[in-house]
Structures are given as structure tokens and as C-alpha cells.
Amino acid sequence: MTSLRAIASCIDGYDPDALPVEIARRVIGSLVAPVAACERVAVRASLGRVLGADVVSTTNVPASDNSAMDGYAVRGADLSAGGETVLREVGAAFAGQAFDRAVGPGECVRVMTGAVMPAGTDTVVIQEHVRVEGDRVVVPPGQQAGQNRRFAGEDLAVGQVALPAGRMMRPADLGLLASLGLAEVTVRRRPRVAFFSTGDELASVGAPLRTGEVYDSNRYTLYGMLARLGVDLIDMGVVRDDPARLERAFLDAAASADAVITSGGVSVGEADFTRELLGRLGEVLFWKIAMRPGRPMAVGRIRDAFFFGLPGNPVAVMVTFYGFVRDALLRLAGRTDDCELPVLQVPCATALRKRPGRTEFQRGVLARGADGKWSVRVTGQQGSGVLRSMSEANCFIVLEHGRGDVQAGDLVSVQLFEGLA
């Protein structure tokens, strides 16, 4: 494996003490490779999974040319351009029940939507347009030869890639596989992600809170964000700020998971110790990222596992997860489709203070006003410990590295993290 430091130092503008967000994202992107193993699962079980191989169509969908409407299948060449055409009805074809002989000149066949086009016909005249007199069908002028006919293979042709490897299976894709008659599909193994909180001050929910303690909330927000990504979770609880216990936890996590996520213990003071420990167990880069919140972060490898050491502050955990970890885990899962959180340009309802030289992730609510127009406003207090600001938000207002103050009404980048199920 190429050393992390070697990868990182090749990137223009690399400065571990004030690393721009975009560069950190690029370095992380270059570290992560998808899990190799694949498995076969039933079509329904593939919802939300990542395809491990292209699905190539072995049949035409639809299998035959068929009628797009209820009406009469006719020979386009029979139709008179300038006046009415009188045809003789010789039978009927329904979805699932074909007309069993060829249709000759001057003849037509009653067809229902989805019926196979009878041999000899190429055009469907919808039933509302004809006049029926016994077995005579009178077609008005103005029809187009070939109209209202669906072609064999129009949805999927034999040999065509129906769904590409790297795609996450969605409801329409389940239907697409079924339309090909497939009962099973190859998906990648789900990545296994181990996570734990670090800190002597952390109390577990259900236990009484002693002076100076805080409840361990990070493991719950991390659980929620990870569960939504569809990875397999290994919750390792709380680990005290104790070198021997931390070493044990790091090694256990790396042995059982494809990725390890921790929170806390990377701020100044604590970082030196964590850096020494992780440096000994694997290869880890410590970054002060030019962002707010979420400045300190550790990224690296321990054995075969990717390691993300997130800051301890509850909001910073979420900002760094959405900013760096989410996309890395999706890549690990094998995603190659466009899966980044969407970013929109939206007017900001209020003025915002912003200092150039770092990227800020303010917590916002994107909503439609009484005038029907969309705008974004910040949720109240923006401190990095104020988890309520995340709970109320549905998006980040991303104020880019070079940007200064925002005036009310200015367009800002809004990155959605809710409402995307």
C-alpha cells in the first residue's frame, strides 16, 4: 500500500494545519476502495444494496411489438390520407392473448393495450376515433402510420446493460429486474463499520449523571447516520481515555470491521497521545481542517480498516460525518453512481457573519415561504455543542472557504441531509 503521507503530500495545497475541506475530501477519496466480496440475494432483498456486477438484459422488454392503446390494429398502408378508410374487423387480440393469423389488406383487428401487434399490422387507431358499423370499422383521415405502437426491446433490448455495477438498488430497479424475469441479483457485501465514543466524562443513557459528566449522545447520532447508509454496525460502546483500553479497542475494531469511527480525543492535548497510539498501530494523518465546526480530525488506516477519528463535539461529529465519512463509506460500499448529498443555490433569509479562510457549515432550515418561494434560514444557536441546531435543521448552509459575510437575500449553497429517503 502507498503510504498515506505520500498520497497526501502529492496533493496541491496540502497543509495539515489548515487543510481546505475540498482537499481533505480528495485525499480521503483516494484512500478508500470498495469491499471486494459479493453475494447473490433475492430481488426484494436487494433494495438499498449496491450492485456488484452489471445486469445485462437477456430478453427484449417488451418481448414483442404491442399496442399502446385500446383500439384497432391496422395496416398503415391501407389508410387513406384524404378521406375515411373502411376496414373489416376480423378478430380481436388482448394482453396475453394474441391474434393467431396474419392480417390482410383491408382488414383490421380489435386490440387492447399491451396486446401483441397482429402480423401484418403496424398502426393502432384508438377506439374513440373510429365508427363501428357491424363488422365494418370506419377510420377518419389524419392518422399517422406506426402510431400507438410500442416496439419490442423499447424498454430494454437484449444485450443492453439494464443496471450498472455500483448502483444502489431503488424501487424502480426491483421492478426492472422483475421485468427481465430475474429472481436474484449480485450485490456487494455490506461494509462493516465499528464505532465507539471516547472520554472519561461520558455517562451511558439510563445511568445517573454525576457532576461533570455528559451523556454519550454521539454514539446515537452516529448510529442513526450509519443505519441509514445501510452498513452493518458494530457498536463498541464507550472507551475511557486510557491508553491500554484504547489500544485494545482500536485493534479489536480494526480486526472486525472495514471501517472504524470514533468520536472525541482528537483535540489539542489529547491528540498527541492519540496520534502516538494510532501511529504505532497503523498509519494515521492528523488534520486541522479549515472548517467550522469540526476542525480537528484524524484519518487513516489500522491494519485493513479505514479509520476516522472525529471530534467530540456533538455537532462537529455530524458535520464531519456528512462532510467526509458518508461519501467514503458509500465508496467502500461500492457505490459509483452519483450519491453525494445534493447542493442547491438558495436565497438566505437573513444576513450571516462569515470570515474568509475556512468553510463554515451553519445549520439551516430550507423551507417554502408564504409567497411559495424557497429560502433558507439558520436554526438558532450555532455552537458546536448545541445538538438542537442539528435536530431542527434539514440542511447545512455551506459558506465556502473564500466567502465573506452574507447579506439577506444573497444566494448561498445549501446541502440537504434530510428529506431524501
Binding residues for ligand AMP, rule: CB under 6 A, are: 197, 199, 201-202, 214, 216-218, 263-267, 270, 311-314
314's contact among ligand AMP, Mg ion, none, with CB below 5 to 8 A by partner kind, is ligand AMP
First-to-last alpha carbon distance for the chain, in angstroms, is 36
For residues 224 to 263, the per-residue mask of contacts with Mg ion, x marking binding by CB under 5 A and - elsewhere, is ----------------------------------------
When binding is defined by CB under 5 A, the residue of 71, 264, 314, 323 that contacts Mg ion is 264
66's contact among ligand AMP, Mg ion, none, with CB below 5 to 8 A by partner kind, is none
Our CB check for ligand AMP shows the closer of 67 and 274 to be 274
Say if residues 359 and 20 touch (Cβ distance below 8 Å): yes
309 contacts Mg ion (rule: CB under 5 A): no
When binding is defined by CB under 5 A, the residue of 52, 118, 166, 199 that contacts Mg ion is 199
Q: How far apart are CA 126 and CA 100, in angstroms?
A: 21
Say if residues 367 and 71 touch (Cβ distance below 8 Å): no
Looking only at Cα atoms, what is the longest distance across the chain?
Answer: 94
Stretch that binds Mg ion, among 57-65, 191-199, 216-224, 369-377 (CB under 5 A): 191-199
Cell triple for 343? 447542493
Our CB check for Mg ion shows the closer of 52 and 312 to be 312
Which of 308, 264, 267 minimizes the C-alpha distance to 285? Answer: 308
Cell triple for 75? 395496416
DSSP, residue by residue, 383-418: -TT-THHHHH-SEEEEE-TT---B-TT-EEEEEE-S
Say if residues 109 and 118 touch (Cβ distance below 8 Å): yes
218's contact among Mg ion, ligand AMP, none, with CB below 5 to 8 A by partner kind, is ligand AMP
Our CB check for Mg ion shows the closer of 320 and 415 to be 320
Shortest approach of ligand AMP to residue 194 CB, angstroms? 15
**How many secondary structure helices (H) and strands (E) does the chain include?**
9, 26
Shortest approach of ligand AMP to residue 25 CB, angstroms? 21
Our CB check for ligand AMP shows the closer of 197 and 394 to be 197
334's contact among ligand AMP, Mg ion, none, with CB below 5 to 8 A by partner kind, is none
Kindly give, in sequence order, each residue whose CB lies less than 8 Å from that of residue 374, ignoring residues fewer than 6 positions away: 346, 347, 366, 367, 368
Kindly give, in sequence order, each residue whose CB lies less than 8 Å from that of residue 87, ignoring residues fewer than 6 positions away: 72, 74, 78, 106, 107, 108, 136, 137, 139
Mapping DSSP to helix (H, G, I), strand (E, B) and coil, where does residue 21 land?
A: helix
Our CB check for Mg ion shows the closer of 89 and 241 to be 241
Shortest approach of ligand AMP to residue 259 CB, angstroms? 18
Q: How far apart are CA 367 and CA 364, in angstroms?
A: 9
Our CB check for Mg ion shows the closer of 297 and 412 to be 297
Neighbours of 90 (CB within 10 A): 16
Closest residue to ligand AMP, judged by C-beta, is 312
Our CB check for Mg ion shows the closer of 166 and 199 to be 199
Our CB check for ligand AMP shows the closer of 201 and 340 to be 201
Residues near Mg ion (CB under 5 A) are: 199, 264-265, 312
